[in-house]
């Protein structure tokens, strides 16, 4: 590289890199530093305590509970979101009738695309507030109201939704109701992502499959899915991060931010309580660092498992 070019490149990169270092990397480093102290968060006094906070983390019952709730989301959010997004993308792009015009999506797929993508335009908090009305636990709630009119729900015993800690398949009901919102709000974006990937698959591949007598089922599982492998893998990692967070939904939707009675406690809600209510910032920082390490390991493992030779077309 000529000298002038290097200078030019550095000139352009210096500011963004500096901003990134200052606003992202530096706070992370600070948090890691604080995680080794007993800082309370409201003063400038702190004592170095070594790895004590991390040792404490291992025996914290609430954190263990929160961890398993995060694992629940980690498994279910990507699974259901990707499955739904793939299904919709397939229908919208190649699921329709085959005729002289070739392969295309179901009737009105353009309209559906906009409708399904819509939740992505809304902020998660707006989504949560809207769902509060849908989930409202009396006759004025959208779901309860309709079901009561139809007679499927007893007027004296409405569905409690996010206020319901009773286990369903071994997991508190409140988590399933939150999952529904997460999947609903996430599926649209991944549908668009998969649609784009599907459109880059040459039509002749599908036509060849159809000529060979493959139905929709086989086209999807034998042709589409293998060719989307890279995109699905990336989506899986993104959704994994979203599942590790889930904070906005828990914060807005559940009683006492993680309730009822700790039934929807997640890493972020315990962290928030520990830092801001209990005033144990050092310990809370240790939680944050542990979560960050966990997320990085997860992404690394994911990329390692799904790495494969790419198919060129």
By CB under 8 A, residue 48 contacts other proteins? no
Stretch that binds other proteins, among 26-34, 94-102, 107-115, 182-190 (CB under 8 A): 26-34
Q: Is the dihedral of CA 83, 89, 92, 97 positive or negative?
A: negative
Binder of other proteins out of 2, 3, 5, 44 (CB under 8 A):
44
Cα–Cα nearest to 178, from 258, 238, 278, 293: 258
By CB under 8 A, residue 145 contacts other proteins? no
Binder of other proteins out of 171, 292, 298, 299 (CB under 8 A):
292
In the bound state with other proteins, the residue whose beta carbon lies nearer, of 23 and 313, is 23
User: How many C-beta atoms lie closer than 10 Å to residue 296's C-beta?
Assistant: 10
β-sheet bridge partners, residue 48:
37
Report the nearest approach of other proteins to the CB of residue 190 (Å): 22
Stretch that binds other proteins, among 96-104, 197-205, 225-233, 254-262 (CB under 8 A): 254-262
By CB under 8 A, residue 41 contacts other proteins? yes
By CB under 8 A, residue 276 contacts other proteins? yes
CA dist 162 and 143 (Å) reads: 13
In the bound state with other proteins, the residue whose beta carbon lies nearer, of 100 and 123, is 123
Record the tokens describing residue 232, joined without a space.
Answer: 């699905």
By CB under 8 A, residue 167 contacts other proteins? no
By CB under 8 A, residue 24 contacts other proteins? yes
Torsion, Cα of 20, 25, 30, 35 (10° steps): 150
DSSP 66-93: HHHHHHHHHHHHHHHHHHHHHHHHHHHH
Q: Which one-letter DSSP state was computed for residue 161?
A: G
Binder of other proteins out of 11, 151, 170, 215 (CB under 8 A):
11
| Total residues interacting with other proteins, rule: CB under 8 A | 60
By CB under 8 A, residue 65 contacts other proteins? no
By CB under 8 A, residue 137 contacts other proteins? yes
Buried b (16+ CB within 10 A) or exposed e, 129-155: eebeeebbbeeebebbbebbeeeebee
CA dist 51 and 28 (Å) reads: 17
In the bound state with other proteins, the residue whose beta carbon lies nearer, of 93 and 274, is 274
Binder of other proteins out of 36, 77, 193, 275 (CB under 8 A):
275
Report the nearest approach of other proteins to the CB of residue 214 (Å): 45
Asked if 240 contacts 250 with a C-beta cutoff of 8 angstroms, the reply is no
Task: Give the rounded distance of the alpha carbon of 292 from its chain centre.
Answer: 15
Binder of other proteins out of 47, 59, 123, 157 (CB under 8 A):
157
Q: Which one-letter DSSP state was computed for residue 160?
A: -
Binding site for other proteins (CB under 8 A): 7, 11, 14-15, 18-19, 22-24, 26-28, 30-31, 34, 38-45, 136-140, 144, 155-158, 160, 163, 165, 247, 255-256, 259-262, 268, 271-273, 275-281, 284-285, 288-289, 291-292
């Amino acid at each position: 590289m000529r000298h002038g070019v290097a200078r030019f490149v550095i000139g352009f990169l210096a500011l963004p890199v500096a901003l990134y270092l200052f606003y992202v990397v530096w706070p992370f480093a600070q948090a890691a530093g604080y995680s080794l102290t007993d800082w309370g968060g409201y003063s400038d006094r702190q004592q170095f305590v070594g790895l004590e906070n991390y040792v404490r983390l291992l025996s914290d019952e609430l954190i263990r509970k929160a961890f398993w709730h995060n694992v629940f989301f980690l498994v279910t959010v990507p699974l259901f979101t990707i499955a739904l997004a793939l299904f919709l993308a397939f229908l919208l792009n190649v699921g329709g009738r085959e005729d002289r015009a070739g392969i295309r999506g179901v009737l009105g797929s353009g309209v559906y695309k906009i409708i399904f993508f819509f939740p992505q335009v809304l902020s998660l908090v707006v989504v949560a507030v809207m769902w509060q009305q849908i989930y409202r636990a009396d006759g004025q709630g959208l779901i309860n109201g309709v079901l009561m009119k139809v007679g499927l729900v007893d007027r004296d015993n409405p569905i409690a939704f996010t206020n319901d800690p009773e286990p369903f398949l071994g997991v508190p009901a409140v988590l399933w109701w939150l999952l529904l919102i997460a999947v609903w709000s996430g599926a649209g974006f991944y549908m668009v992502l998969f649609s784009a990937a599907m459109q880059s698959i040459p039509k002749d591949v599908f036509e060849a499959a159809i000529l060979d007598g493959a139905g929709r089922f086989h086209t999807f599982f034998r042709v589409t899915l293998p060719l989307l492998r890279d995109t699905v893998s990336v989506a899986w990692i993104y959704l994994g991060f979203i599942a590790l967070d889930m904070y906005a939904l828990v914060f807005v939707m559940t009683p006492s931010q993680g309730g009822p009675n700790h039934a929807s406690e997640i890493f972020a809600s315990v962290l928030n309580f520990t830092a801001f209510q209990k005033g144990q910032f050092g310990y809370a920082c240790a939680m944050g660092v542990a979560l960050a390490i966990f997320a990085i390991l997860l992404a690394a493992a994911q990329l390692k498992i799904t790495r494969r030779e790419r198919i060129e077309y």
